[in-house]
Amino acid sequence: MGTTFNFEVTNKPSRKNTYSIYLRITQNRKKKRIKSSIEVNKVGDFNPKAKQGNWIRTSESNHKVWNQALEKELEKAKTTFRELGEDGMATKELIKATIQNSIVSTSFLEYAKQRTKDIYNEGGYRNYKKYNGFCNKLEGFIKSNNKTDILFSEITSSFLSKFETYLHTLRNERNSEATLHPNTLAVNLNIFKTLINRAIELDKKIKPENNPFLGYKYDKSTNTIKEKLNEAEIRLIEELPLPEGSLMWHCRNYFLFSFYLAGIRAGDLIQLRWLNVTSENRIEYRMAKTKKDRNMKLHQKPLDILKLYYKEGSKLSDYIFPLLDNEAPFAKAITEEQKATLPPDLIMKLNNTVGAKNSLINKYLKKIATEAKIQKNVSFHIARHSFAKVAKDNKVDNNHLKELLGHSNIKVTEGYMGSFETEATDNVMASIFGKKEQPKKVKSMLKKFNPEEIEALKQYFKD
């Protein structure tokens, strides 16, 4: 049976306003079409009468790479036809089914977007936001070069360098006068590297020796100054007179509750329920970030805050703090296992609501700091840093801090505490430059001696 292969372009634009190119299989005058990995911006960018290797006109900036991609897909189809023909099974239907199961898209942008969608469907809200942001930035960079797509074969060390340069020009969403934070740059490049590694190791889209990151280095992380409050500043917040029931009053309670219990993260505190409080006055919950279970004794100060929120008739499944709606659709999922089974849209709604409440708390914490005359950028997460700072000031060992902060590895704790451990260097500097002062107890004792007795003591030690 006669079988021919060629390409054609559709006349119907996609949602992206592009036109897909299809591989056409003709067998006994009957046709089957397979969507290729290439889409053009205009129908005229495709030349239906072109010889092999020149389907995309030179007026399209991607013509060379796209023609190479189409040539590979055509060769794949012909190879499949020959292999099936050896068994007498080279029908156009089977050729199409085999090719569709084996052809991989050469579009990296499409690959990145599909991975982002998969993360969303898996309920990985934190990573979804990061990956979605990366895709938007990459697409912006591609468009800035008058292109609509980027293929795996185009991603080189040089491309990565140009993309990083582009990231340095982007504005910070939180502060339009500033550019992206160095940590944001590192996060986006880390995602890029993760996607490339996945394409190599799992999806076999790139050969390991063609990994563009082999010849490209970048700053993977940046140590930032961890803002924290000392015990005196915590007392200023505790003692600040606030109207009971006001938003500032509530937000202070949330902040202090976190501080008193080793810096519970905002997302965890917002979702605490009365069933997380045991009859032995302990609080048990699973951290959303690390999935590690926490079990802590409720000492008097956090207990006093809980008493402010308990109402007669409260259900065990009710949220402790008045931040989330007990009747919301996502509220039915109580345990972490139940939350994991929520539809992606409800997981997104829950996390968006938690994020909005966290932003609200931070807004009022800044007002509290202003009224308390604290010259620091106070946010909810500062409760965690402040607890760590106070713990170190009170000589708490890093191994104990590891458990209190809920870290899975002592190295995480050591890195977290690095900027707090200044006492040793302070003592060294004081020994070099500091004023040699007599201990306070000695000074108070010397006040009891008269001048003659002090002179006698000096002579005694001199001898």
Do 61 and 147 belong to one domain? no
CATH of residue 389's domain is 1.10.443.10
Do 136 and 249 belong to one domain? no
Do 327 and 242 belong to one domain? yes
CATH of residue 158's domain is 1.10.150
Do 296 and 151 belong to one domain? no
The predicted-structure confidence for 355-395, as pLDDT tens digits, reads as follows 999 999 999 999 999 999 999 999 998 888 888 877 776 66
- Domain end among 55, 77, 102: 102
Do 148 and 245 belong to one domain? no
Residues 128/120, Cβ–Cβ less than 8 Å: yes
Question: Of the candidates 96, 64, 67, 69, which has an alpha carbon nearest to the alpha carbon of residue 80?
Answer: 96
Do 283 and 305 belong to one domain? yes
Q: Give me the phi and psi of 265, to 5 degrees please.
A: -65, 155
Domain assignment present for residue 422? The answer is: no
Do 12 and 76 belong to one domain? yes
Domain assignment present for residue 199? The answer is: yes
Question: Of the candidates 225, 232, 296, which has an alpha carbon nearest to the alpha carbon of residue 260?
Answer: 296
pLDDT at 103: 47
pLDDT tens-digit profile, the chain (463 residues): 578 888 999 999 988 789 999 998 888 788 888 888 899 999 999 998 888 889 999 999 889 989 988 998 888 888 877 777 766 666 767 666 666 555 445 789 999 999 999 998 888 888 999 999 999 999 999 999 888 888 888 899 999 999 999 999 998 887 778 899 888 999 999 999 999 999 999 988 888 988 999 989 988 765 666 688 988 999 999 999 999 999 999 999 999 999 998 889 999 999 999 999 999 999 999 988 888 888 889 999 999 999 999 998 899 999 999 999 999 999 999 988 898 888 988 998 999 999 999 999 999 999 999 999 999 999 998 888 888 877 776 666 555 555 566 555 656 555 555 555 555 545 545 555 555 555 555 566 666 666 776 676 666 666 5
pLDDT at 413: 54
Range of the domain at 71: 3-102
Greatest alpha-carbon span in the chain: 124
Do 238 and 362 belong to one domain? yes
- Domain end among 57, 78, 102: 102
Domain assignment present for residue 282? The answer is: yes
The total of other beta-carbon atoms located within 10 Å of residue 27's CB is 18
| Cα separation, 417 vs 17, whole angstroms | 52
Domain assignment present for residue 392? The answer is: yes
Do 239 and 167 belong to one domain? no
Do 81 and 123 belong to one domain? no
Q: How many domains does the chain have?
A: 4
Residues 285/294, Cβ–Cβ less than 8 Å: yes
Domain assignment present for residue 8? The answer is: yes
- Domain end among 215, 249, 264: 215
The total of other beta-carbon atoms located within 10 Å of residue 43's CB is 13
Domain assignment present for residue 221? The answer is: no
**Three-state secondary structure of 107-167:** EHHHHHHHHHHHHHHCCCHHHHHHHHHHHHHHHHHHHHCCCCCCEHHHCCHHHHHHHHHHH
Do 251 and 396 belong to one domain? yes
Domain assignment present for residue 156? The answer is: yes
| Cα separation, 324 vs 352, whole angstroms | 11
Return left, alpha or beta for 373; rule: phi > 0 is left, psi -120 to 50 is alpha, else beta: left
Domain assignment present for residue 119? The answer is: yes
Do 148 and 264 belong to one domain? no
The predicted-structure confidence for 104-113, as pLDDT tens digits, reads as follows 457 899 999 9
Q: What is the dihedral of CA 285, 288, 289, 290, to 10 degrees?
A: 50
